[in-house]
């Protein structure tokens, strides 16, 4: 069983795609538990950093009420110039404002603490999804790796989340695209090492997992949008 104090070294080596951390996770006496612990620790660290950053950013911005009034005034002017119904424009602004203020912590209250729950939860769900699908697709392409070993190695896909520590600085932080691409590369290395696949098969498994993941997210967003629209229609 690895010790949490070894996580920084493992994460640093995973970020540069060295084989050592992936091999150590596979060879661990319980890769599943080790992977869960690693994902939880990194996710919580990223969540706390994002929460602190949201709080400090909110302090550096104008009062939410003032900014909201300014947005509504701009919306009314836009509606007047474009002949759109002012009430509809205000409704759209209000809905977007509610979501953005909640997600960024600008709404005040407990909203700045949302990342402490959302980021670790998302990290765990993505790891489980990635591990299960990578195991299944890998088996279909000739891998004989166990699902336990796959979960251990693929836990390192959360390594780029450590860059969220830069979110503590207002208006700073890593690009989501950078996090996604870096995680994809780490996922490729994890699959290649844990499943002992040739590079092109490991790349195929990784891309299939990401493509399926994008379809799942798109389906969930569409379902949410349809449900929200249906609720609004009532």
How many residues comprise the chain? 234
Residue 90 lies in a domain: no
pLDDT of 171 reads 67
Residue 83 lies in a domain: no
What does the pLDDT look like over 18-39, one tens digit per residue?
999 999 999 888 888 999 999 9
pLDDT of 104 reads 61
Range in 95-99, 137-141, 200-204, 229-233 with the lowest mean pLDDT: 229-233
> How sure is the predictor about 84, in pLDDT bands with cuts at 50, 70 and 90?
confident
Number of domains in the chain: 1
What does the pLDDT look like over 165-182, one tens digit per residue?
887 876 677 888 889 999
Residue 53 lies in a domain: yes
Could you report how far apart the first and last alpha carbons of the chain are, in Å? 55
**What are residue 31's phi and psi, to 5 degrees?**
-55, -35
Average confidence (pLDDT) over 104-131: 82
Residue 100 lies in a domain: no
What does the pLDDT look like over 178-197, one tens digit per residue?
899 999 999 999 999 999 89
Nearest Cα neighbor of 27 from 195, 194, 196 is: 194
pLDDT of 52 > 80? The answer is yes
- Structural domain containing residue 10: 4-61+106-233
Compute the distance between CA of residue 40 and CA of residue 60 in angstroms, rounded to an integer.
30
Residue 99 lies in a domain: no
The torsion region of residue 170 among left (phi > 0), alpha (psi -120 to 50) and beta comes to beta
**What are residue 58's phi and psi, to 5 degrees?**
-60, -35
Highest mean pLDDT: which of 90-99, 174-183, 198-207? 198-207
Residue 120 lies in a domain: yes
pLDDT of 203 > 80? The answer is yes
Report angle CA 120, 166, 1 to the nearest 5 degrees: 45
DSSP 28: S
Average confidence (pLDDT) over 52-65: 74
Yes or no: say if 74 and 43 are a contact pair by the CB < 8 Å rule.
no
Yes or no: say if 185 and 175 are a contact pair by the CB < 8 Å rule.
no
> How sure is the predictor about 219, in pLDDT bands with cuts at 50, 70 and 90?
confident
pLDDT of 233 > 60? The answer is no
pLDDT of 57 reads 74
- Residue with the two structure tokens 């207002």: 170
Percent of the chain with pLDDT over 70: 86
Its pTM stands at: 0.78
Residue 157 lies in a domain: yes
Residue 167 lies in a domain: yes
pLDDT of 191 reads 95
pLDDT of 14 reads 93
pLDDT of 134 reads 95
pLDDT of 83 reads 74
pLDDT of 66 reads 76
Compute the distance between CA of residue 48 and CA of residue 52 in angstroms, rounded to an integer.
6
């Amino acid at each position: 069983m690895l010790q949490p104090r070894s996580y920084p070294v493992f994460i640093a080596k995973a970020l540069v795609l060295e084989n050592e951390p992936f091999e150590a996770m596979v060879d661990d006496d319980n890769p599943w538990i080790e992977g869960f612990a690693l994902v939880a620790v990194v996710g919580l660290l990223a969540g706390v950093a994002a929460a602190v950053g949201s709080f400090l950013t909110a302090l550096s911005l104008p009062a939410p009420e003032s900014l909201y009034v300014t947005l509504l005034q701009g919306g009314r002017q836009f509606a007047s110039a474009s002949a759109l119904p002012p009430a509809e424009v205000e409704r759209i602004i209000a809905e977007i404002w509610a979501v953005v203020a909640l997600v960024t912590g600008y709404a005040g209250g407990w909203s700045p603490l949302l990342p402490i729950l959302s980021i670790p939860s998302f990290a765990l769900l993505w790891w489980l999804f990635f591990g299960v699908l990578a195991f299944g697709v890998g088996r279909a392409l000739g891998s004989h790796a166990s699902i336990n070993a796959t979960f251990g190695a693929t836990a390192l896909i959360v390594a780029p989340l450590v860059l969220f520590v830069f979110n503590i600085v207002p208006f700073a932080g890593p690009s989501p695209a950078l996090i996604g691409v870096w995680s994809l590369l780490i996922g490729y290395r994890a699959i290649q090492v844990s499943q002992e696949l040739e590079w092109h098969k490991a790349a195929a498994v990784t891309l299939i997992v990401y493509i399926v993941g994008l379809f799942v997210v798109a389906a969930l967003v569409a379902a949410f949008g349809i449900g929200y629209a249906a609720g609004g229609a009532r």
